[in-house]
A = this chain, B = another copy of it.
């Protein structure tokens, strides 16, 4: 990014993004590159893009688009046990709409401050296609301490933060295929538009979890990925999966299925496995940090896909595990 007198792209960057790029490593976006200073830690790198019409809707407010773009990346860092170090932004825009960019940049700056994750640089390009926001985020974790998908062992407890399935219901409401009370609708739509990355849990994940990932494509599919990476299987007690009151009511009224909740995307909660000896301490620590966490099952040996059992111990068959782009 660069601010200068010669180019529309550069004046756009100077106007909207320079004011929020206050980290010394960003060089005020006046240079071609940013610096992450060495701290002796491993630098954790994650990248996630959101596309208009795919990950957010064309009429989603610009501030929620900004927050979602950053937060889906912060969710990954938290699930890996890493603290935030900064991010770079690539914005592909059809046009430079002043009102949109003002609201987008202001929200991005607020979130960068809220999560102590500074904007370091980026690229702004024109596109004839949908608005696309691609963010690469950086975290720090002590050398070798990043939490992988692959460390789960039989006997470990399976934990998940927050509530599952709300975002998928919020999207269904925005698409007009599901209805609920105004209050429930507002909550579910907010869950779709503005994820809550569990950054407060990063240290506990780093210190206690044997494996972890964030739930972005659906709990069922993402758990299957964690099992495959760890070479284990899992048994899940379906009634234990944390649900919002709104989701519980829609489920009890038969308006949505269990499968919708556990195969829908955009939860951005942390799924992790914790050795039994650490489970209580992990839950306590989460509570102290204000993050709701629930034990939903147990890791078992084997290569079968995870089994979801109902209140009577019968397996719930799922025809679809997760959202896939292709």
Contact = CB atoms under 8 A, between A and B. Distances in A.
Interface of A: 2, 4-10, 12, 27, 30-51, 53-55, 76-77, 79-80, 82, 88-90, 92-93, 95-96, 120-130, 132, 134, 136, 138-139, 143, 146, 148-150, 213-214, 217, 221, 224-225, 228-229, 321-326
A33 B80 contact: yes
Contacts of A221: 6-7
Given A6-B221, A134-B49, A44 B33 contact: yes
A contacts with B: majority SS = mixed
A60 B7 CA distance: 27
Given A128-B53, A129-B128, A324 B9 contact: yes
A248 to B, nearest CB: 26
A145 to B, nearest CB: 10
Contacts of A35: 42-45, 146
Contacts of A321: 6-7
B31 A45 contact: no
A92 B49 contact: yes
Given A123-B47, A126-B51, A80 B4 contact: no
